[in-house]
A and B are shown apart, each in its own frame.
Chain A
Amino acid sequence: ELKVEQNPLFLSMQEGKNYTIYCNYSTTSDRLYWYRQDPGKSLESLFVLLSNGAVKQEGRLMASLDTKARLSTLHITAAVHDLSATYFCAVDKAAGNKLTFGGGTRVLVKP
């Protein structure tokens, strides 16, 4: 059974500082996703990581994938208040298959 674990579950950030969210998964996977969810809203796709060593960046967010370690990281550079949200990673075993989500990391960026 595929298990996906995120840590930390909650992250209180100071504006301007850097932070990392970790996502571990238990079995070989074809692809890894990062999503953002604002309160009361659905998921917004951030990144799709397809291969070992993949790195993607968008603004202050950068995601990377190490398939050998079964680990993905989401790095936040110089946090700003607008980044406050819950971040989820999700893994699927094969393209088109169902996703298994991590427990989510609730991020609160304080001035």
Chain B
Amino acid sequence: GAVVSQHPSRVICKSGTSVKIECRSLDFQATTMFWYRQFPKQSLMLMATSNEGSKATYEQGVEKDKFLINHASLTLSTLTVTSAHPEDSSFYICSALRANLGNEQFFGPGTRLTVL
């Protein structure tokens, strides 16, 4: 199989603090990972593409200084929400691209962020 984990699964923080979310591919190496955000009753919106060893590529309208992405190894990408505000509250889902399985994306279980 292809398993992707996220940590934490749920986080509550105060406005102005920073939160780090980890995305790990557990049984395969992933040079590319993706970060999505999903608001209630809406679809997934791609935030950025994370490439191992290089800078992330952000989608239009996503603030790169607010959503810091680090893909330091072939099995780990992190998303840091800096100076979080209530409007950043959302469900964040990562996916990892498995090259030897037809380049299919495998999704993590998601992280529910609530900013008070």
What does the 1/0 interface line of A18-54 toward B look like (CB < 8 Å)? 0000000000000000010000111101001000000
CA distance A42 to B109 in the complex (A): 5
Instruction: Tell whether, in the assembled complex, residue B43 and residue A88 are in contact, meaning their CB atoms are under 8 Å apart.
Output: yes
Instruction: Tell whether, in the assembled complex, residue B102 and residue A95 are in contact, meaning their CB atoms are under 8 Å apart.
Output: yes
Q: Flag whether A99 is at the interface (Cβ < 8 A).
A: yes
What residues on A are CB-neighbors of B108 within 8 Å?
42
Pick from A40, A88, A98: contact of B49, CB under 8 Å? A98
What residues on A are CB-neighbors of B42 within 8 Å?
103-104
**Interface of B (DSSP majority class):** strand
Interface residues on A, range: 10 to 19
Interface residues on B, range: 20 to 34
What residues on A are CB-neighbors of B104 within 8 Å?
45, 48
What does the 1/0 interface line of A82-109 toward B look like (CB < 8 Å)? 0000001000000110111111101000
What residues on A are CB-neighbors of B109 within 8 Å?
41-42
CA distance A40 to B34 in the complex (A): 19
Pick from B46, B93, B102, B110: contact of A98, CB under 8 Å? B46
Given A96-B99, A96-B103, A103:B46 Cβ within 8 A:
no
Q: Flag whether B44 is at the interface (Cβ < 8 A).
A: yes
What does the 1/0 interface line of B23-43 toward A look like (CB < 8 Å)? 000000000101000000111
Instruction: Tell whether, in the assembled complex, residue B97 and residue A102 are in contact, meaning their CB atoms are under 8 Å apart.
Output: no
Pick from B34, B43, B93, B103: contact of A42, CB under 8 Å? B93
What residues on A are CB-neighbors of B41 within 8 Å?
106
Instruction: Tell whether, in the assembled complex, residue A41 and residue B103 are in contact, meaning their CB atoms are under 8 Å apart.
Output: no
Given A42-B108, A48-B102, A48-B104, A96:B32 Cβ within 8 A:
yes
The smallest C-beta distance from B31 to any residue of chain A, in angstroms, reads: 10
Q: Flag whether B105 is at the interface (Cβ < 8 A).
A: yes
Who on chain B is nearest to A90 by CB? B44
Q: List the 3 closest A-B pairs by CB distance, nearest first.
A: A96-B103, A95-B103, A42-B110
